């Protein structure tokens, strides 16, 4: 089945494109495909009022539970020490 035929679900709603791209990075690092859905005016005026400026991060329905798991993780500073790699 191609991804175009798959059902996509909202995994997260972000405030603005910068926050959305951070979330997308976390998901794609885990191998989860993403798409963004937003109103064009929200990219011009970076505010969130009544959904304006809100960015929906979509994932294929089969990845939705895993996406929520990834986004619920928290990290300690020790987890971010790449010098040991």
Mean pLDDT to the nearest integer, 25-41? 92
Query: Is residue 52 a contact partner of residue 39, using CB atoms and an 8 Å limit?
Result: yes
- Residue 36, SS3? strand
Query: Is residue 64 a contact partner of residue 11, using CB atoms and an 8 Å limit?
Result: yes
Q: Domain boundaries in the chain? A: 8-73
Residue range 45-68, pLDDT digits in tens: 656 565 667 899 999 999 999 999
Query: What secondary structure letter does DSSP report for 85?
Result: -
**8-73 is classed CATH 3.30.70:** yes
Tell me: pLDDT of 1 over 50: no
């Amino acid at each position: 089945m191609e991804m175009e035929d798959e059902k996509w679900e909202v995994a997260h709603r972000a405030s603005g494109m910068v926050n959305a791209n951070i979330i997308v990075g976390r998901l794609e690092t885990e191998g989860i495909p993403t798409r963004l859905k937003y109103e064009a005016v929200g990219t011009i005026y970076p505010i969130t009022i009544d959904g304006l400026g809100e960015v929906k991060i979509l994932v294929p329905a089969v990845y939705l539970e895993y996406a929520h798991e990834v986004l619920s993780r928290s990290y300690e500073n020790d987890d971010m020490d790449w010098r040991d790699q």
